[in-house]
Amino acid sequence: MTEALIMGVLNVTPDSFSDGGAYVDLEVAVAQAETLVAQGADIIDVGGESTRPGSTRVDPAVERARVMPVIQALTARGIVVSIDTLNASTAAAAVSVGVDYINDVSGGLHDPEMLTVAARASQQLDVTFIAGHWRGIPDPEHTRSAYTDVVVEVRDALGMCAHNAINAGVAPDNIVLDPGFGFDKTGAQAWELLTNLEALTDLGFPVLIGTSRKRMLGEVLADVPEAARNLGLVHERDLTTAVSSVLAAQKGAWGVRVHDAAGTAQAMAVLRAFESAPVHVSEAETAPVGADAQAMTAKPLDRVTLTGLEVFAHHGVFDFEREQGQRFLIDVDAAVDLKAAASGDDLAATVHYGELAEAIVAAVAQDPVDLIETVAERVAHVTLGFAGVHSARITVHKPQAPIDAVFADVSVSVERFAGGQTR
């Protein structure tokens, strides 16, 4: 079932694009944080400097004067807090009073000391570093929004952010990535990133999505009748924020960053109910057609199964995976008609599992690739090359995958049929 954390935005600034000036008073800010938590926020993201398009930088000392009293008040109440900052000195101060997250929209690129602070916080206090994608303070005119392929370029840049953080000493389990909606990306590019979010989650790190009240949602509302825009919400983009956050959760987002926790919490409840309902599949949907039907229904019920075949290989998206290598476990379930082999006690009439194992090990250990999906396809091709194999179900396990969570296994399964048929 899809689960995504809700990060509530608390800007204690006079000039943020959506709520600037609303929470500069300490008591008002703390009350807003408590309201967000009561409405379903898991984390409160406190920011003391606006990064809205065209914003002007403030001195880190001013930023700290804004955020530190609020953070101290919230952590004293047991609220999980994130510090939204570009400045290493502010991040270090926030860590000293108990924040659990450093949220740097520059991904460590703005302040050369940020990764050092993040590494120390990760090692000593298990603090998570959220690395955003950016090309500087967002340009209102989108002069830095030129991409040949926005998904590939953002994916590669975030992968490099993660690599730099790990090299600096941040534990891989303490890294979250953020594609930076609103940071030098047009609305169309932002929607392309959201639609193809799997390309980012495939990097192996949790992904935070922040569409809240962004221009991309305002552009969508331009096509909605005026009377349908203001529904009594705090902000006319809060409903579209909740919808886009649910779409992000369905695509595998670890968390969503929002100004309105209540609407997003309701939307997430609907998503949980939707995904927990049983799915009924009709016979018409599952029945193969024509020649494919004949091939699949003729598939023998006899099986040759090989499980837990261990191979050390250098596959993976990250450089450290390719350099260091890791264990992969392979399961093969091959459909073979074993009647002749059994009746004649004839090895030639079945699959020699020793030879199959050797062939699979050789295929998996060869040139590195990014995805275990590719490895699974490789193994299926090898298995179907053995005489008599009608189909093969292959599972590739990656038990040492770089994931920011406690887990037992990650695996991909494919089923392939002789003659190139798939189901």
Q: Is 250 helix (H, G, I), strand (E, B) or coil?
A: helix
| Tokens coding 15 | 């000039």
> Among this protein's residues, is 299 annotated catalytic?
no
Annotated active-site residue in 64, 185, 214, 398: 214
339 is annotated as an active-site residue: no
Contact 105, 180 (CB under 8 A): yes
Reported in sequence order, the residue ranges of 174-302 that DSSP labels E, i.e. its strands, are 175-178, 208-209, 255-258
Q: How far apart are CA 219 and CA 213, in angstroms?
A: 11
Neighbouring-strand partners of residue 304: 334
Catalytic option among 257, 393, 398, 416: 257
Phi and psi dihedrals of 182, rounded to 5? 90, -5
The CA distance from 62 to 82, in Å, is 18
Q: Answer yes or no: are the C-beta atoms of 68 and 33 closer than 8 Å.
A: no
| Upper half-sphere CA count for residue 264 (Cβ side, 13 Å) | 36
Task: Provide the pairing of β-strand 303-313 with 326-336.
Answer: antiparallel
State the maximum Cα–Cα separation within the chain, in Å, rounded to a whole number: 87
Question: In 48-174, at which residue ranges do the beta strands (DSSP E only) sit?
Answer: 81-84, 101-104, 128-132
CB contact at 8 A, 104 and 86: yes
Please give the single-letter amino acid code of residue 321. E
Helix (H, G, I), strand (E, B) or coil at 107: coil
- As beta bridge partners, residue 175 has 129
As a whole number of angstroms, the distance between CA 248 and CA 217 comes to: 14
411 by Cβ neighbours in 10 Å (0-12 / 13-18 / 19+) ranks as middle
- Write b or e for each residue in 170-182: b if 16 or more Cβ atoms lie within 10 A of its Cβ, otherwise e: bbbebbbbbbbbb
Q: By C-alpha distance, which of 383, 335, 334 is closest to 356?
A: 383
Encoded tokens for 369: 């690739």
3-class secondary-structure state, position 412: strand
Nearest to 63 by CA among 73, 44, 51, 49: 49
Task: Give catalytic residues, as residue numbers.
Answer: 214, 257
